[in-house]
């Protein structure tokens, strides 16, 4: 106590008050934690009211099973079977041009006329020379016939007789020579009209009226045939090896001897509307490109296909075989693998590794890894894992594109870049 009865509070008294206060708070915290732990214990001992996640809902379907044919792809251009450069067979002046540039013409149709007057005169002269020779032959033969009678009667010397016989033979030879000259003159007169050598289409004319043309030298125009027309393309050595091995196994006939079907898609087309057949495979592989040249023939009655026109070709590469088809979106890619989910009888999904082929009727060919009896999962693939149970709705697959099967029956072959249904 201080003076006057007053109490002085020192440092030690403040410390004691703090300790008593802390003790009260500690008791309160201990009580709170005890209650919390009790609540947790009660919750742990109580019933579990959380629900399992629902099964994913997916659509499943059986694959479509269909006979298909494989095709190999090539790029090429159409080519005229005949491309004729028209030149005159005689020299002279052009007096008439009878065709328009780019005109369709028939074989033997007149195209250009060269001045025929000099050649007509030469022909008439040749005919006159022939008549003279024939008259001389008559006289020589008559003298020879009389000589044969006179020699028998010893009324003619042997020397004169031989002269008459030689004169008769010479007259006969002269007649034959003048016949040839007359025929040459006639042909030259005929050649003054230059005709189209083939059915086809002309290019532009290379000469004008009054031009002097030289026999077998001056180019008048060109004529290309259009019906039928060839499609020229080149294939890699690997294709040739494949086809030759198939021929040995009796799976596909060689295009050297078999008219294997080939179809063409033009630059502005979506389908393969033009159908032809193989007619030629070259006898050697080009060492520079490693390819071999081949040709197919197409009917072109309407002259729509034009030499030089670009086209994408597909060549028959297999016999018809059974294939399973599924939508592209039901296939997932795992690095280098392609996988398909299928649902088993227990309602669980499993992953199958598959080998894919070309598109047919809008669906993907599965070459291996899938059977016709497998239920394929079509959607919800991102939520699935192998062994996961699912709720499934079964639907029926239908074609997504038109049937583009070829019109001809194939011989046979192996996997390829394209296929069509049969």
Question: pLDDT digit string (tens) for 354-365?
Answer: 999 888 888 999
Per-residue confidence (pLDDT) for residue 382, from 0 to 100: 87
Structure tokens at 318: 């297999």
Look up the CATH number of domain 73-81+225-316: 2.40.30.170
Average pLDDT (387-396) is: 91
Phi, psi torsion values for 318, nearest 5 degrees: -160, 165
Read off the pLDDT band of 48 (50, 70, 90).
low
Per-residue confidence (pLDDT) for residue 246, from 0 to 100: 84
Q: Is the pLDDT of residue 405 over 60?
A: no
User: Is residue 84 within 8 Å of 223, Cβ to Cβ?
Assistant: yes
User: Is residue 329 within 8 Å of 337, Cβ to Cβ?
Assistant: no
Q: Tell me the average pLDDT of the chain.
A: 85
Average pLDDT (76-92) is: 96
Q: Count Cα atoms within 13 angstroms, Cβ side, for 341.
A: 26
Per-residue confidence (pLDDT) for residue 417, from 0 to 100: 53
Residues with Cβ within 8 Å of 356's Cβ and at least 6 positions away in sequence, in order, are 331, 338, 364, 365, 366, 367
Read off the pLDDT band of 313 (50, 70, 90).
very high
Highest mean pLDDT among 108-112, 158-162, 345-349, 400-404: 108-112
Domain chopping of the chain, boundaries? 57-70+320-421, 73-81+225-316, 89-210
Q: Is the pLDDT of residue 151 over 90?
A: no
pLDDT digits (tens, 9 = 90+) for 251-284: 788 899 999 999 999 999 988 999 999 999 999 9
Per-residue confidence (pLDDT) for residue 310, from 0 to 100: 96
Query: Rounded distance, CA 341 to CA 345, Å?
Result: 13
- Per DSSP, the residues of 111-122 read EEEE--HHHHHH
End-to-end, the C-alpha distance of the chain in Å comes to: 120
CB-based contacts of 136-143 (< 8 A; 24+ apart in sequence): 136/171, 136/174, 137/168, 137/171, 137/172, 137/174, 137/175, 139/171, 140/164, 140/167, 140/168, 140/170, 140/171, 140/172, 141/168, 141/171, 143/167, 143/168
Per-residue confidence (pLDDT) for residue 219, from 0 to 100: 96
pLDDT digits (tens, 9 = 90+) for 4-29: 444 444 444 544 454 454 444 444 44
Per-residue confidence (pLDDT) for residue 316, from 0 to 100: 84
Query: Rounded distance, CA 316 to CA 314, Å?
Result: 7
Percent of the chain with pLDDT over 70: 83
Query: Rounded distance, CA 239 to CA 163, Å?
Result: 78
Q: Report the DSSP beta bridge partners of residue 231.
A: 78, 296
Structure tokens at 97: 């041009």
Q: Is the pLDDT of residue 330 over 80?
A: yes
Query: Rounded distance, CA 368 to CA 373, Å?
Result: 13
Higher pLDDT, 137 or 1: 137
Q: Is the pLDDT of residue 3 over 50?
A: no
Higher pLDDT, 193 or 48: 193
Per-residue confidence (pLDDT) for residue 22, from 0 to 100: 44
User: Is residue 220 within 8 Å of 211, Cβ to Cβ?
Assistant: no
Domain 57-70+320-421 CATH class label: mainly beta
Q: Which of 12-26, 182-196, 203-217, 313-327 has the lowest mean pLDDT?
A: 12-26
Strand positions, DSSP E, 335-394: 337-343, 349-353, 355-360, 363-368, 375-377, 391-394
Mapping DSSP to helix (H, G, I), strand (E, B) and coil, where does residue 123 land?
helix
Q: Which of 309, 386, 408, 307 is nearest to 342 (CA)?
A: 386
């Amino acid at each position: 106590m201080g003076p006057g009865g007053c109490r002085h509070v020192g440092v030690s008294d403040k410390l004691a008050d703090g300790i008593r206060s802390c003790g009260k708070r500690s008791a309160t915290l201990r009580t709170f934690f005890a209650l919390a732990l009790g609540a947790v214990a009660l919750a742990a001992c109580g019933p579990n009211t959380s629900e399992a996640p629902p099964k994913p809902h997916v659509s499943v379907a059986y694959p479509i099973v269909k006979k298909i044919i494989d095709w190999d792809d090539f790029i090429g251009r159409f080519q005229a079977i005949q491309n004729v450069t028209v030149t005159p067979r005689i020299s002279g002046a052009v007096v008439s041009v009878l065709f328009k540039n780019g005109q369709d013409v028939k074989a033997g149709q007149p195209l250009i006329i060269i001045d025929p007057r000099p050649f007509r005169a030469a022909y008439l002269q040749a005919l006159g020379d022939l008549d003279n020779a024939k008259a001389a032959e008559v006289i020589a033969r008559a003298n020879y016939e009389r000589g044969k009678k006179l020699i028998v009667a010893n009324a003619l010397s042997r020397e004169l007789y031989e002269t008459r016989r030689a004169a008769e033979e010479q007259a006969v030879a002269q007649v034959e020579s003048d016949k040839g000259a007359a025929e040459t003159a006639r042909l030259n007169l005929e050649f003054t009209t230059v005709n189209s050598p083939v059915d086809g289409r002309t290019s532009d004319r290379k000469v004008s009226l009054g031009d002097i043309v030289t026999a077998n030298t001056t180019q008048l125009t060109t004529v290309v045939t259009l019906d039928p027309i060839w499609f020229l393309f080149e294939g890699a050595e690997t294709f040739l090896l494949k086809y030759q091995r198939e021929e040995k196994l009796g799976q596909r006939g060689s295009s050297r001897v078999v008219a294997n079907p080939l179809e063409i898609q033009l630059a502005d087309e979506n389908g393969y509307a033009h159908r032809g057949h193989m007619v030629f495979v070259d006898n050697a592989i080009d060492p520079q490109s490693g390819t071999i040249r081949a040709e197919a023939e197409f009917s072109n009655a309407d002259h729509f296909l034009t030499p030089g026109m670009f086209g994408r070709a597909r060549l028959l590469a297999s016999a018809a075989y059974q294939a399973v088809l599924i939508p592209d979106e039901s296939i997932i890619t795992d690095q280098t693998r392609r996988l398909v989910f299928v649902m088993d009888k227990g309602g669980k999904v499993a992953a199958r590794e598959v080998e894919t082929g070309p598109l047919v009727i809008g669906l993907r060919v599965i070459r291996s890894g899938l059977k016709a009896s497998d239920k394929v999962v079509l959607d919800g693939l991102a939520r699935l894992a192998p062994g996961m149970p699912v709720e499934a709705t079964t639907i029926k697959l239908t074609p997504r594109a038109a049937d583009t099967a070829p019109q001809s029956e194939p011989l046979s072959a192996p996997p390829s870049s394209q296929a069509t249904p049969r």
